[in-house]
Amino acid sequence: MFDVFIVAVSVTLPIFAWILMGVILKSLTLISERWVGLLSKLVFYVSLPALMFFSVIRKPISEVFDFWLTAICIAVTLVVYFCSFLWSRKANFSPADSAVIQQGALRGNLGIIGISLCFNAYGSEVLVKASVLMALLTIAYNLLSVYAFVSELSDGRLSKKVLLASIAKNPLIVAVAAGLPLALVGVEAPAAILTVVDNFVAVTLPLALVSIGASLSFRAVVKDVTRLSQVALLKLICAPVLGVLACLLLGYRGADLGVVFLLLASPTATASFIMAKAYSGNHLLAANIVVYTTLSSLLSISVGVFLLTFFKLM
């Protein structure tokens, strides 16, 4: 039992230790908002796209794309979105709150926390499959998020231009789209380049986690705990549980099941705050959802990893 606990902690504790370091450094005024912003841009526009591009051409595409794993993750995302939509309607939230809640329940922080958890659990080899799965999920997140804001905050007509622009401007999606043609014709990256990329990502991902911790704000969270807890229930419990059950039914075990769990169990992405502000949603609520789910995921992911390891499933 203790050995299982050590395995669970070894996966989650390093991730959240970096986040805690960010909180502490920010409270000591050793890092500034400008530093956090610049680092976030470095990771989002350089580090993660490089990781995803080279992950796609690391191995033949037939070895890394799994139709059923992708179908499971997208189906779970759709179910969570639908549940959040029904809850918003039943609770009679304002359109600005409803759109933010729907996005907060479905949009996970795959690019930093999700991929870091996968790397910590299984090493660089699993990043190939995780990166492709993450890119496809990111497309689904963008589609559903834009639809939620447009349908809630306008007359309900979905702008194809806005939707396509959102996808085309996402550097993670662009990186995968650039790598896929090369992977399809059998181009593989030299080992020396892959080593450089892996080292670069290994340095920048922890710094990105520090920036997440530095950007968290706790003051307003206490005032809205009930609603935030309900969003966290959908994001941190319902999504990964549904994903794991679907994987078990289809016979998945080991790293495949673990990757699905870790990606779906990731807390709400900080990008949800940016999108909420851009679409005139309740961006303060969006920020609170990010803070609350990030902190809550320390417990939920640790418990999940412990249980899956104890029953020898991941």
List, for residues 250-259, the tens digit of each pLDDT value: 999 999 999 9
What pLDDT does residue 277 have?
A: 74
Q: Which residue has the tokens 């939707």?
A: 163
Instruction: Determine contact, residues 148/245, Cβ cutoff 8 Å.
Output: no
In 3D, which of 124, 118, 110, 133 has the Cα closest to residue 12? 118
Half-sphere exposure of 208 (CA within 13 A, CB side): 25
What pLDDT does residue 156 have?
A: 52
* Structure-block tokens of residue 187: 């181009």
Rounded alpha-carbon distances, angstroms, from residue 95 to 41, 206, 208, 300: 30, 36, 32, 29
In 3D, which of 162, 138, 140 has the Cα closest to residue 150? 162
In 3D, which of 248, 264, 290 has the Cα closest to residue 101? 290
pTM, full prediction = 0.84
Cβ-based neighbours of 275, under 8 Å, separated by 6 or more = 103, 145, 146, 149, 281, 286
What pLDDT does residue 300 have?
A: 94
What pLDDT does residue 228 have?
A: 94
Give the C-alpha separation, 255 to 261, whole Å. Answer: 10
Count of CB atoms situated within 10 Å of the CB of 207: 16
What pLDDT does residue 217 have?
A: 73
What pLDDT does residue 155 have?
A: 57
- Nearest-Å Rg of the Cα atoms of the chain is 19
Rounded alpha-carbon distances, angstroms, from residue 2 to 7, 9, 306: 9, 10, 10
Give the C-alpha separation, 80 to 83, whole Å. Answer: 5
Q: Which residue has the tokens 């050995």?
A: 3
Instruction: Determine contact, residues 63/126, Cβ cutoff 8 Å.
Output: no
Please list the ranges in the chain whose pLDDT falls under 50: none
Give the C-alpha separation, 107 to 111, whole Å. Answer: 11
Q: What is the DSSP letter of 219?
A: T
Half-sphere exposure of 216 (CA within 13 A, CB side): 28
Instruction: Determine contact, residues 194/68, Cβ cutoff 8 Å.
Output: no
Give the C-alpha separation, 146 to 93, whole Å. Answer: 18
